[in-house]
Amino acid sequence: MANFITVSALNNYLKRKFDADVHLGHVYLKGEISNCKIHSRGHIYFSLKDETSVISAIMFDRDAKMINFEPKDGTKVFAEGKVTVYEGSGKYQIVVSKMQPDGIGELYIAYEKLKKELEKEGLFKPEYKKPIPKYPKRIGIVTAPTGAAIRDILSTIKRRFPIAETILFPALVQGENAKTSIVNQINAAQNYELDVLIVGRGGGSIEDLWAFNEEIVARAIYASKIPTISAVGHEVDFTIADFVADLRAPTPTGAAEIAVPNMMDVYKLLENFKIRLQTNVTKKIEFGTKKLESLKNAYVLKNPMAVYEVKEQKLSILMDKLESCTLTLLESSRASLANIVGSYVLKNPLSFYEKDKEKLSTLDTRLRMAIKTYSQNRTSQYELLLEKMELLNPLGILKKGYAVVSKDDATLTDVDNLKKNDTINIRLHRGSIIAKVEETKEI
């Protein structure tokens, strides 16, 4: 009998087969969205179709949050994901992990590549951002001379801060020549005394905004000496220019609002300053008035001679002290001089010489006696040591008639090493004898 299996078992088997296939684990599809439904939890259920086929698709909320466009029926897209089987219905489907609109795929790749390169180079770093002045006198605008963007910027500036001067640097903002036109106008603006520069255009597709994703435009904005505000497209649109500029505005109108203050706010601020200034001036005047009154009532001003009299009295006391100290010093100096004049030294200067001469003679005699005694003692010690050394001298015994006999420079003490006809040396007290052995005898 045949082995029957359940539908669930079959679907499970097919799912494992799909999941194990390396070719289905990562696929790239392009097609048109149809039957698109967005679940309350954020999942997107849809189908991808071309002229002859269709496949079910799902994009979970964690991946759906990363797409930067609104998926809807009829949108042509590039989708990346894995093919699997949903066991509940037995249908195979693609689980999409990444998706982007068809037609901008190459542009998007180029955008991401340039963004990474410029970011790595440091063009986006916050420390290079120039501050936007609060109260600009002259504002430059690089955009198309016609269209909603320039109208919105000018009307907003005129409404909020009409005293600011605006200078338009007309540029192409779309098409093949747009990037060169924008760069030329940014460079031209550097020759004007501008406080801030707005660079941008109105909304559009990624192709329409592409001039602001060009590298030469990004580098021109980065090199600008004028603080620059980027105002490209709508709030959801981000271009390379937005990252390089000193400040990004969500829209051209937003750029104008950022560039200038609201005149009503300025009036209020000036009014507050006026009130604070008046308050401070009033306090200064009150303080000065009180100080003036205090000075007017001061004892010094009312009785100026009293101050002079006090100073005069102090001066007199100091003069008396000075005179007293001077006299005391003179008396002391006179007494010292009298003592010196009457001193024994000045009256008998030769007495010190005679006294010292006698001391010198005594010292000379004592020194000579000490030297003589020391010399005699050293001579006696030398002679004693010399006698001792003479007693210890092994050759001193030769004076008594003894001799030292040697053979081949070796001293002989017995006849064991001698034989007949050997030559020997006999050293006496004075001189030596060379002799030959005739006969040896032992005693």
Query: Does 281 have pLDDT greater than 90?
Result: yes
CB 255 within 8 A of CB 142: no
Which tens digits make up the pLDDT trace of 44-94?
A: 999 999 888 999 999 999 999 888 778 888 888 889 999 999 888 889 999
Which tens digits make up the pLDDT trace of 152-166?
A: 999 999 999 999 999
Q: How many CA atoms lie within 13 A of 141 on its CB side?
A: 28
Closest-CA residue to 245 (of 166, 182, 171): 182
Percent of the chain with pLDDT over 70: 93
Query: Where along the chain do its domains lie?
Result: 7-102, 109-124+136-261, 265-310, 348-393, 398-436
Average pLDDT of the chain is 87
Which tens digits make up the pLDDT trace of 344-386?
A: 666 666 666 677 778 888 888 899 999 989 989 998 898 888 8
Torsion of CA 436, 439, 442, 443, to 10 degrees: -90
Q: How high is the pLDDT of residue 106?
A: 67
The CATH code for residues 109-124+136-261 is 3.40.50.10550
Q: How high is the pLDDT of residue 66?
A: 87
Average pLDDT over residues 304-328: 82
Measured CA distances, 216 to 112, 167, 241 (Å): 16, 23, 10
Q: What is the pTM of this model?
A: 0.48
Which tens digits make up the pLDDT trace of 135-194?
A: 999 999 999 999 889 999 999 999 999 999 999 999 999 988 999 999 999 999 999 999
Residue 18's CB: how many other CB atoms inside 10 A?
16
Which tens digits make up the pLDDT trace of 378-425?
A: 988 988 888 788 777 766 677 777 888 888 888 887 887 788 888 888
- 340: pLDDT confidence band, cut at 50, 70 and 90? confident
Q: How high is the pLDDT of residue 352?
A: 64
CA distance 243 to 238: 8
Which tens digits make up the pLDDT trace of 204-229?
A: 877 888 999 999 999 999 999 999 99
Q: How high is the pLDDT of residue 19?
A: 86
Query: Does 1 have pLDDT greater than 60?
Result: no
Kind of pairing, strands 404-407 and 410-411? antiparallel
| Higher pLDDT pick, 98 / 439 | 98
Q: How high is the pLDDT of residue 232?
A: 92
Question: Which CATH number fits the domain 7-102, given the four candidates 2.40.50.140, 2.60.120.680, 3.40.50.300, 3.40.50.12160?
Answer: 2.40.50.140
